[in-house]
Amino acid sequence: MDNKTYIEQLISFFSNDLGWGIWGDVTGWIVVAVVYLAFFAVTGLYLVLMERKVAGWIQLRHGPNRVGPWGLFQTIGDAIKLVTKELTGTAKADKFLYNLAPYFPIVAALISLSVFAFSKDLQAFDINIGLFFLTAVSSVGVIGILLGGWASNNKFALIGAMRSGVQVISYELSVGLSLLTMVLLTGSLQLSEIIEVQRTGGWLIYQGHIPAIIAFMIYMIAGTAETNRAPFDLIEAESELGAGYHTEYSGMKFAYFFLAEFINMFIIAAIAVTVFFGGWLSPFGITEGIEIEWLQAIFGVFWFVLKVGMIIVLMMFFRWTYPRLRIDQVLTLEWKYLLPLNLMNIVLMAIMVWAGFTLPWPF
Amino acid sequence: MDYEAQIKKNQFRTEEYKINMGPQHPATHGVLRLNLTIDGEIIKRVEPDLGYIHRGIEKMCEYDSYPQIIHLTDRMDYLSSHNNNEAVALAIEKALEIEVSDRVKYIRTIVGELTRLASHQLWWGVMGMDLGALTSYFYGFRDREVINDIFEETCGARLTMNYSIPGGIRYDIHKNFVQRVKDFIVHFRSKLPEYDQLLTGNIIFEKRMKGVGILSKEDAISYGVSGPVARASGVKSDIRKIKPYSAFAVQDIDFKEPIYTEGDAYSRYKVRIDEMWESMRIIEQLVDNIPEGNIKEPTKAVIKLPKGEFYQRVETARGELGVYINSDGKKSPYRMKFRSPGFSNLSALEDMAVGSKLGDLVAMMATLDLVVPDIDR
Amino acid sequence: MTNQQLQDLINPWFENLAFTEEATEFLTVTVPKEKLHDLAEKLKSNSKTQFDYLFCETGMDWGEELGVIYHLRSTTHGHEMVVKVTTKDRTTANLDTVCDIWKTAELHEREIHDLFGIKFNNHPNMEVLILPPNWDGYPLRKDYVDEVNMIIR
């Protein structure tokens, strides 16, 4: 294997082996995009099912269990319902913005997905500012929420959208700074680089010990807030605002918002796994020794998805146990507690890296 | 101050606007409509608009016979339906000077306390849901089902029971009743600490509840609030202590009235949790020694009350329910008035809510435990 | 304080107070409508009576007269009494409000206004509370007729 990623191999198959030239490149990328889209859709839908199952187990009930074995096809039924549902709208809505809004969160989420390393050599784009790109793109989604709340000409939606704007802008800081803390350890923003550092030196949460654990906790809190999930689901706080910013959306337009929330959850968990828990690396390197390339790639995906799943379950536990915060408490938590703590944590991490206090990997 | 001047003073220009909370809204638990005037998230004015489920029960009573009236009272505060039945039955018995047997009194009180428990369980679940913790809903309903099953076995209905009638109770208790109530107490004594584990100590929950919707003792009295809302503000208002009725008048039952002085949402929450413990104690003291006796005293086929005014109060899960009967000696009352606890408690809402955030309003309404058919009647 | 002691205490305050205690457990006093507000204020502020808790406010239609019944309790002393006030004017019935004394009266008086058509002077917000804004008539009055919705046996 001449050191090409799987995606590069695929594209070179179309352009070189088939001799299609530039059109081969285009075809190759379209194939990649379709595969990613399919993965995206399936992930989103099955995260919904997973959430309902987890909620069921916490709440003394079974969750969906009628459609298919263990309710596995429930979510497909939901999808068909959402696609076929009538699109309603308000008469006095700003039609252009109203129709545009749902695409922001979904497109932003899809773009973010493209830079993750799912396994060794399985990454669509391995750009050198990967982490920066992720934080930048994931904040585009809030534009859609603001637009949706504003354009639907509904006061409840507007309140929800304004809350969301305030909240996401605030918590972006904490997400960025806690990731920056970890970048001090790796010295690189490139995701493949970050994983490579952990292959030899142990997972970053181990290497960076105390400041890394603090950074992880802050990241989880801020990440939950950025995905607008309970206990930070003020933007759709159903007992206060009815449904918040998507009150006036229905059918597939609503589904875009809804799916984007779950994909965002996947993204937040995937960043956490990449930065803190060694990405697709197996614990203690138990599967890295396998010689067969394709088997190793599959194991990489397996470990990645498993770890992401565990973080997502953690976020679901948050949702189904905690009550919702109030808007001023949300902001107090960020600006008075998380942000100063985060800044101190960066200094601590910097000193630690400078003085060489990171934990060596004994294995 | 005009816009330019405000810009010069470097202030934001804010505008108040109105939003319509209800009649279809998840937090109003029914068809209560609140016209809110808010500035950003700060509440400036709360105007309740009632009548969306007003059925004119008081007018209907003027054309119904007394046994028929009992059926209407179920539909007021449907979570305390037995207490409502009991209030009317007691008022009629007071007017007719009927002394029911101790068995009836004991059974009425046990069922009444079970109703209170069921109501508080539902309140607890729904309150958690209002604050965004959906899990509590299922825990509350799990335990409420057990009580409803007991009711179903004894009187055939789970919610609108019609169990008390003038002169006694409709049927004797089912033979399983005593054992099932005892089993329930054992069950719920182990489950109630779960309620505390899920919400009470949670830091987010405490932040949402403490210092929210404060009602001072003076205001609480002036607004005529009763029940747990009054007790959280330090007002002793338990009718079971002030004017004992049914078994409370027969036996000296050992229970305490939980009193808190903070008057905030958190103390209203604590009062209701404490009340659940106290209700279980009351039931435990009564259930083992239900005396033998008639379950119904004979009344005339057509009940006619003597001329006069009769007032009877009972303590429902929401507070003091008053039944005022003005009789002119006919088979229907000349005027019947229900003093519903929810109506008076609602009157305190605006005073609590002004100046706080939209999210707090939900916490206040949840801890006031408003039942809209009780307010509208 | 017993009902008799209460009566002896309150009787000298105003002229024309009519006390009854027939067929009810409470001491009942009927007050002329001009004196209502003064009596209410004194009942609350006097240290021996301190009726600070208005637990029930009932609108009444006695056929010729309209009126309101106030059920009062003192949270400090624990005694209770009833104040009645009537007005013969059925077209422009109006009484003084007591919502500056007992705040809960604000909502109760709005309800009575809707259902009995008694207007309360000096009430801060005498708007329709329960009925739709365009409702005709006062449903709880005895002479109210609605042939469609009322079932009269």
Does the beta-carbon distance from A59 to B362 stay under 8 Å?
A: no
- Return d(Cα A238, Cα B359) in angstroms, integer: 11
Is there a domain that residue C134 lies in?
A: no
List of chains touching B (3+ CB pairs within 8 A): A, C
According to the 3-state scheme, what is the secondary structure of B269-304? Answer: HHHHHHHHHHHHHHHHHHHCCCCCCCCECCCCCCCC
Is there a domain that residue C127 lies in?
A: no
Q: φ, ψ for residue B36 (rounded to 5)?
A: -100, 135
Buried b / exposed e across B45-63, counting CB within 10 Å, b at 16+? ebebbbbbbbebbbbbbbe
Task: Give the residue from B223, B229, B331 with the most C CB atoms within 10 Å of its CB, the best one to mutate.
Answer: B223
Does the beta-carbon distance from C56 to B337 stay under 8 Å?
A: yes
pLDDT at B249 over 70: yes
pLDDT at B1 over 50: no
Q: Is the dihedral of CA A49, A50, A51, A53 positive or negative?
A: positive
> How many domains does chain C contain in total?
1
Is there a domain that residue C153 lies in?
A: no
pLDDT at A124 over 80: no
Q: Tell me, yes or no, if B232 comes closer than 8 A to chain A by beta carbon.
A: no
pLDDT at A1 over 50: no
- When CB atoms are compared, the residue of C55, C59, C82 closest to B339 is C55
Most confident listed range (A205-214, B139-148, C10-19, C41-50): B139-148
Quick one: tokens of A320?
A: 């189904």
At A341 the pLDDT is 92
pLDDT at A282 over 70: yes
Determine the structural domain holding residue C41 and report its residue range. Answer: 3-92
Does the beta-carbon distance from C106 to B58 stay under 8 Å?
A: no
Question: Number of CB pairs < 8 Å for B and C?
Answer: 98
Q: What is the pTM of this model?
A: 0.86
- Note the ipTM here: 0.85
Task: Give the residue from A54, A240, A241, A247 with the most B CB atoms within 10 Å of its CB, the best one to mutate.
Answer: A240
Chain C residues with CB under 8 Å of a chain B CB are 22-26, 28, 52-56, 58-61, 69, 71, 75, 78, 82, 102-104, 106-108, 111, 125, 129-132, 139-140, 150-153
At C22 the pLDDT is 65
- Return d(Cα A320, Cα A323) in angstroms, integer: 8
Label residue B78 by pLDDT band (50, 70, 90): confident
Q: φ, ψ for residue B161 (rounded to 5)?
A: -90, -35
User: All domains of chain B, ordered by start, with CATH?
Assistant: 53-376 (1.10.645.10)
Label residue C152 by pLDDT band (50, 70, 90): low
Strands B168-169 and B308-316: unpaired
Higher pLDDT, C13 or A52: A52
Q: φ, ψ for residue B176 (rounded to 5)?
A: -85, -10
- Return d(Cα B316, Cα B88) in angstroms, integer: 13
> How large is the average pLDDT for residues B297-310?
83
Nearest chain A residue to B128, by CA? A323
Q: Tell me, yes or no, if B344 comes closer than 8 A to chain C by beta carbon.
A: yes
CA–CA distance from C124 to each of B35, B221, C102, C119, C120 (Å)? 17, 20, 13, 12, 9
Q: What is the pLDDT of residues C53-62, one digit of tens each?
A: 888 888 888 8
If you average pLDDT over every residue of chain A, what do you get?
A: 83
Quick one: tokens of A166?
A: 């305030």
- Return d(Cα B272, Cα B122) in angstroms, integer: 11
- Contact residues on chain A for B358, CB-CB shorter than 8 A: 159, 240
> How large is the average pLDDT for residues B143-153?
89
> How large is the average pLDDT for residues B129-134?
84
Domain CATH number, residue C40: 3.30.460.80
pLDDT at B5 over 60: yes
- Minimal CA separation from B45 to chain C, in Å: 13
Is there a domain that residue C47 lies in?
A: yes
